[in-house]
Amino acid sequence: MTPALAFDLLLIAALLWSAARALTIADVFHAVVLFIVFGLLMALAWARLGAPDIALAEAAIGAGLTGALLLDAVGHLRARQREPEQ
């Protein structure tokens, strides 16, 4: 087995694990972090497939921008849960 094939198989396993875990985890914060990890792994997969433009877009939009917006939403949800109801 060549090192490139071993790396690709490890990348596939990490993608499947992070996707399944992000969908099944109960804690919203951890799900968002796993979504960001999935986006970064997906960007790496696109780069391995020879599509650097898609890899950059995935890293910037999929992992970066969307991840930051989701983390902000989680912060607002947690702040709202801490406020006493009136």
Domain boundaries along the sequence of the chain: 3-82
Whole-model pTM? 0.87
Tokens of 25: 């985890």
d(CA 59, CA 36): 9
Percent residues over pLDDT 90 in the chain: 84
Per-residue confidence band for 86, with pLDDT thresholds at 50, 70 and 90:
low
Model confidence over 27-69: pLDDT tens digits? 999 999 999 999 999 999 999 999 999 999 999 998 899 999 9
